[in-house]
């Protein structure tokens, strides 16, 4: 990936055309001849564009600017403008397709609002959230959007976010809530998702409904579990819960296998990946989905309609949530007051082929 550096025209050694260069702020250079060749113009035209001289045809100026961009260079003025409009996005690992979907939707919404998105992902064994925040602060980011970050973990210290508020850094936090932190919050109602899943399964005649969920310290997982428990108690059914170490397909498979061994005819999962693991567990146990056991996921991440069978799931309205988070953040950055700092979206039950009537 090319670096982005400022431009200062100069001439090297003998001052001949072949040695004229564009010198960068960090000492790097590229020949004017290379830029001219890329743009299809003369070196003197490149020099005049770099120095912002008048009398250049707009189409020619655009061609030279595009060539400079392609070679990895930008003017100091453009760099400052980009920095002033830089918004950081911090997401968990992108192996889970729902986070890739959020990253794309947030990035598109930011670009539409005239901002430059800077994506940071939390890879296992890599830098933590605080390290990524430090980098964004050093880059002069105007704000940060956190997707299912440490704010969603009830065991984490909230002071890191209070410190950012003290720095007057606008923030939007997605799928997690900090009641005493002055930031914007956008969430999907996972408690409603838990209730919807149980309601769908009981309407199909299921009575032994299990739930596979990730660590309860995560607020979205806790909400989904609470919704499931509430619906099961209302229906007078026995709760069957397996808490997995994480939200992966492998963890879902192990946990779902335990529920099936306990006689569950349906399994509600805390993520689509866990649900795919549950389908795998069913087949490993000689069961068919949905003939012998029904499976519901959560997220409606990409390609869930193409799995075998297509997955019934609770959809997060990713595009609407992302657009709202960006809009709320932009209002704060522009100094416009927010009437409400919290926006909660309801999930949608998407019925496909992985659920059916009780066997």
Residue 300 contacts residue 314 (beta carbons within 8 Å): yes
132-158 mean pLDDT: 95
> Token pair 């709320």 is at which residue?
328
Taking the C-alpha atoms of residue 266 and residue 158, their distance in angstroms, rounded to an integer, is 37
Exposed, middle or buried: residue 331 (CB in 10 Å: 0-12, 13-18, 19+)?
Answer: middle
175 in a structural domain = yes
- The two structure tokens encoding residue 225: 């579990």
Taking the C-alpha atoms of residue 246 and residue 121, their distance in angstroms, rounded to an integer, is 17
pLDDT for 80 equals: 46
Task: Based on the fold, state whether residues 75 and 89 are members of the same structural domain.
Answer: no
Tell me, yes or no, if the pTM score tops 0.75.
yes
264-276 mean pLDDT: 98
Single out the residue in 63, 80, 97 at which a domain terminates.
80
Task: Based on the fold, state whether residues 292 and 151 are members of the same structural domain.
Answer: yes
2 in a structural domain = no
Taking the C-alpha atoms of residue 157 and residue 178, their distance in angstroms, rounded to an integer, is 11
Taking the C-alpha atoms of residue 151 and residue 236, their distance in angstroms, rounded to an integer, is 34
Give me the CATH number covering residue 305.
3.40.50.2300
Task: Based on the fold, state whether residues 216 and 202 are members of the same structural domain.
Answer: yes
- The two structure tokens encoding residue 94: 């992108």
Single out the residue in 80, 111, 134 at which a domain terminates.
80
Residue 194 contacts residue 223 (beta carbons within 8 Å): yes
195-201 mean pLDDT: 98
Task: Based on the fold, state whether residues 250 and 122 are members of the same structural domain.
Answer: yes
229-235 contacts, C-beta under 8 A, 24 or more apart = 229/194, 230/191, 230/194, 230/195, 231/194, 231/195, 231/197, 231/198, 231/199, 231/202, 232/198, 235/198, 235/202
Task: Based on the fold, state whether residues 287 and 325 are members of the same structural domain.
Answer: yes
Task: Based on the fold, state whether residues 242 and 137 are members of the same structural domain.
Answer: yes
- The two structure tokens encoding residue 321: 């949530």
Residue 304 contacts residue 310 (beta carbons within 8 Å): yes
Number of C-beta neighbours around residue 135 at 10 A: 14
Confidence of residue 70 (pLDDT cuts 50, 70, 90): low
Task: Based on the fold, state whether residues 34 and 90 are members of the same structural domain.
Answer: no
252 in a structural domain = yes
Single out the residue in 61, 80, 99 at which a domain terminates.
80
Helix (H) or strand (E) holding 287: none
Residue 85 contacts residue 114 (beta carbons within 8 Å): yes
Of 293 and 65, which is predicted with more confidence? 293
| Total count of domains within the chain | 2
Taking the C-alpha atoms of residue 331 and residue 183, their distance in angstroms, rounded to an integer, is 12
Task: Based on the fold, state whether residues 297 and 343 are members of the same structural domain.
Answer: yes
Pick from 279, 219, 213, 275: nearest CA to 246: 213
Taking the C-alpha atoms of residue 275 and residue 315, their distance in angstroms, rounded to an integer, is 13
Give me the CATH number covering residue 16.
1.10.260.40
136 in a structural domain = yes
Residue 109 contacts residue 136 (beta carbons within 8 Å): no
DSSP state of 153: B
pLDDT for 24 equals: 43
Domain that residue 173 falls in = 85-359
The count of residues in the chain is 359
201-244, pLDDT tens digit by residue? 999 999 999 999 999 999 999 999 999 999 999 999 999 999 99
Which of left, alpha, beta for 79 (phi over 0: left; psi -120 to 50: alpha)?
A: alpha
Task: Based on the fold, state whether residues 74 and 203 are members of the same structural domain.
Answer: no
188 in a structural domain = yes
Confidence of residue 350 (pLDDT cuts 50, 70, 90): very high
CA distance between the termini of the chain: 55
Beta strands in 261-317 (DSSP E): 266-269, 294-299, 312-315
- Residue ranges of the alpha helices (H) in 113-262? 129-138, 159-166, 190-203, 219-234, 249-261
Task: Based on the fold, state whether residues 125 and 151 are members of the same structural domain.
Answer: yes
Longest dimension (CA), the chain: 90
170 in a structural domain = yes
Taking the C-alpha atoms of residue 157 and residue 173, their distance in angstroms, rounded to an integer, is 15
135 in a structural domain = yes
Task: Based on the fold, state whether residues 274 and 223 are members of the same structural domain.
Answer: yes
For the chain, the average pLDDT equals 88
pLDDT for 69 equals: 64
Residue 358: pLDDT over 80: yes
pLDDT for 64 equals: 77
1 in a structural domain = no
Task: Based on the fold, state whether residues 235 and 291 are members of the same structural domain.
Answer: yes
């Amino acid at each position: 990936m090319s670096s982005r550096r400022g431009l200062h025209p100069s001439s090297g050694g003998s001052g001949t055309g072949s040695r004229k260069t564009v010198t960068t702020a960090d000492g790097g250079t590229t020949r004017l001849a290379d830029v001219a060749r890329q743009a299809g113009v003369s070196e003197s035209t490149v020099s005049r564009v770099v120095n912002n001289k008048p009398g250049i045809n707009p189409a020619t100026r655009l061609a030279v600017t595009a060539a400079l961009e392609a070679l990895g260079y930008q003017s100091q003025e453009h760099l400052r403008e980009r920095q002033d409009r830089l918004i950081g996005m911090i997401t968990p690992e992108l192996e889970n397709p729902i986070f890739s979907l959020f990253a794309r939707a947030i990035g598109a919404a930011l670009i539409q609002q005239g901002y430059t998105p800077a994506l940071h992902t939390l890879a296992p064994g890599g830098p933590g959230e605080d390290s990524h925040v430090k980098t964004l602060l050093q880059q002069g980011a105007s704000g940060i959007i956190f997707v299912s970050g440490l704010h969603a973990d009830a065991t984490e210290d909230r002071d890191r976010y209070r410190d950012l508020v003290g720095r007057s850094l606008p923030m939007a936090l997605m799928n997690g809530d900090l009641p005493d932190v002055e930031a914007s919050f956008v969430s999907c109602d996972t408690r409603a998702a838990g209730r919807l899943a149980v309601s769908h399964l009981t309407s199909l005649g299921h009575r032994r409904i299990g739930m596979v969920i990730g660590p309860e310290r995560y607020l979205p997982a806790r909400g989904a579990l609470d919704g499931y428990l509430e619906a099961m108690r209302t229906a007078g059914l026995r709760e069957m819960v397996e808490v997995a170490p994480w939200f992966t397909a492998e963890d879902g498979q192990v946990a779902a296998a335990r529920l099936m061994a306990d006689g569950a005819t349906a399994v509600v999962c805390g993520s689509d990946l866990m649900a795919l693991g549950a389908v795998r567990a069913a087949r490993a146990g000689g069961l068919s989905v949905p003939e012998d056991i029904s499976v519901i996921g959560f997220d409606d991440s990409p390609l869930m309609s193409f799995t075998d069978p297509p997955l019934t799931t609770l959809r997060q309205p990713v595009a609407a949530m992302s657009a709202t988070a960006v809009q709320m953040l932009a209002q704060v950055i522009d100094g416009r007051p927010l009437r409400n700092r919290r926006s909660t979206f309801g999930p949608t039950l998407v019925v496909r082929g992985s659920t059916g009537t009780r066997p």
